[in-house]
Homo-oligomer: A and B are copies of this chain.
Amino acid sequence: MSELTHFDSDGSARMVDVTKKDATERVAVAKGVVTMKPETLRLIGDKKIAKGDVLGVARVAGIMGAKNTPFLIPMCHPLNITSVSVNFKIDEENSKVEIESRVKIFGKTGVEMEALTAVSTAALTIYDMCKSVDKEIVIGDICLLEKSGGKSGLFKSKHP
C-alpha cells in the first residue's frame, strides 16, 4: 500500500516537499450537503419570508475559508489560488442545501483541501445563520468530486 506522504520515514509529520514539482493549472471541485427541517429550508429559500440572505453570507464565508486553508490545515502549503466559486442548490424534496465549490491555481500542488475547506466553512455558516430556529441541522457528504492538473491527472469521484 502507498504511504502517507505527510510523514517522513521516522513518522514525523512534515509539509511535503513540492519544490521541484512543475507549476501547472490545477482545478478541484468539492461538495457537501446541509440537511435541516423543511421550515428552516423555506426560510433560506424564500427571502421574502426571512428577508435575509443566508446563502449570500455563506458564499462569502466559503470563499474566504478557501484562503484560510493553510492556516487551518497544518500540513497544507500556502498557495496563490487564482479562482474560487461556491454555489448552492436547494433540494426541497430532501430538505437540504447542496454546496459545490470550485478552486483553481497555477501552481506546484493541488487545491483539493482549499475546495473542501470552502465547502466546510460555507456549511458551518449556514448552520450558524439558522441555528436559532433549528438545532438539528446536519452537515454531511463532504467529499472531492473532481481534481485535474498535475502528474496524477484527472480524478473523478465515484460519489454521486
Contacts and interface: CB of A to CB of B under 8 A. Distances in A.
A19 B139 contact: no
Contact of A57 (B17, B66, B74): B74
Given A4-B133, A64-B64, A82-B108, 15 more contacts: A4-B132, A5-B132, A6-B128, A7-B51, A13-B59, A15-B84, A18-B83, A19-B82, A32-B139, A75-B129, A78-B81, A79-B80, A120-B139, A137-B143, A140-B142
Contact of A127 (B43, B64, B113): B113
A94 interface: no
Q: How large is the interface on A (under 10, 10 to 19, 20 to 34, 35 or more residues)?
A: 35 or more
A157 B2 CA distance: 38
Contacts of A84: 14-15
Interface in A81-105: 81-87, 104-105
A18 B121 contact: no
The secondary structure that dominates the A interface is mixed
Contact of A132 (B6, B87, B157): B6
Contacts of A85: 8, 12, 14-15
A3 B159 contact: no
A43 to B, nearest CB: 6
Nearest to A87: B12
B73 A124 contact: yes
